[in-house]
Chain A
Amino acid sequence: MKSLVQATIAILVVCALLFFVVDRLQSAGSAGSTDTITVYNWGEYIDPELLDKFTEETGIKVIYETFDSNEAMMTKVEQGGSAYDVAAPSEYMVAMMREKDLLLPIDHSKLPNLKNIDPYFLDLSFDPGNKYSVPYFWGTVGIVFNPGLVGDHLTFQSWEDLWDPSLQGKVFLVDGAREVMGMGLNSLGESLNAKDDELLDLATEKLTSLSPNIKAIIGDEITPLMINNEASVALTWSGQAADMMWENEELDFAVPEEGSNLWFDNFVIPKTAANIDGAHAFINFMLDAENSAQNNDYVGYSTPNAAAMELMDPEVIEDERFYPNEELREKLEVYENLGPEWLGKYNEHFLEFKMDIR
Chain B
Amino acid sequence: MFNKASKGPLFPYIIWIALFVIAPIVLIVYYSMLDLNGNFTLANYRNFFSPVYLKMTLTSFWYAFLITLFTLLFAYPTAYLLTRTKHKHLWLMLIIIPSWINLLLKTYAFIGIFGLYGPINAFLEVFGLDPQQILFTDFSFIFVSVYIFIPFMIIPIFNSLDKMNPTLVYAARDLGASSFTTFRRVIFPLTIDGVKSGIQVTFIPALSLFMITRLIAGNQVITLGTAIEQQFLVSQNWGMGSTIAVFLIIIMVIIMLLTGQKKGGRIQ
Interface residues of chain A, those whose CB is within 8 Å of chain B, are 1, 4, 8, 69, 71-72, 169, 172, 175, 177, 214-219, 221, 224-225, 228-230, 340-341, 343-344, 347-348, 351-352, 354-355, 357-358
Contacts and interface: CB of A to CB of B under 8 A. Distances in A.
A1 B12 CA distance: 12
B218 A215 contact: yes
Nearest to B219: A217
A230 B116 contact: yes
A340 B220 contact: no
B219 A355 contact: no
Contacts of B169: none
A218 B215 contact: yes
Interface string B228-241: 00110111110010
B235 A344 contact: yes
Contacts of A354: 219-220, 222
Interface range on chain B (Cβ under 8 Å from partner): 20 to 34
B9 A351 contact: no
Contacts of A230: 115-117, 135
B28 interface: no
28 contacts: A69-B233, A71-B233, A216-B136, A216-B217, A216-B218, A217-B218, A217-B220, A218-B214, A218-B215, A219-B214, A229-B116, A229-B117, A340-B235, A340-B237, A341-B36, A343-B236, A344-B240, A347-B235, A351-B222, A351-B227, A351-B230, A354-B219, A354-B220, A354-B222, A355-B56, A355-B222, A357-B220, A358-B220
A347 B230 contact: yes
Given A230-B115, A230-B117, A216 B233 contact: no
B52 interface: yes
Contact of A216 (B117, B220, B227): B220
Instruction: Give 3 nearest A-B pairs by CB, closest first.
Output: A216-B218, A217-B219, A347-B235
Nearest to A8: B12
A127 B222 CA distance: 36
A235 B12 CA distance: 53
B111 interface: yes
Contact of B36 (A172, A217, A228, A344): A344
B56 A177 contact: no
A348 B47 CA distance: 10
Contacts of A341: 36
Interface in B217-268: 217-220, 222, 227, 230-231, 233-237, 240
B25 to A, nearest CB: 22
B250 to A, nearest CB: 21
Contact of B52 (A4, A69, A340, A348): A348
Contacts of A219: 214
A69 B233 CA distance: 9
Given A347-B234, A348-B52, A216 B9 contact: no
B166 interface: no
Contact of A175 (B59, B111, B219): B219
Nearest to B138: A358
Contacts of B133: 169, 215
B236 A355 contact: no
Given A4-B12, A215-B136, A229-B117, 15 more contacts: A69-B233, A71-B233, A71-B236, A216-B220, A218-B214, A221-B215, A340-B236, A347-B230, A347-B237, A351-B56, A354-B219, A354-B220, A354-B222, A355-B55, A357-B219
B79 to A, nearest CB: 32
A353 to B, nearest CB: 10
Contacts of A214: 220
Interface in B156-194: none
B111 A221 contact: yes
B8 interface: yes
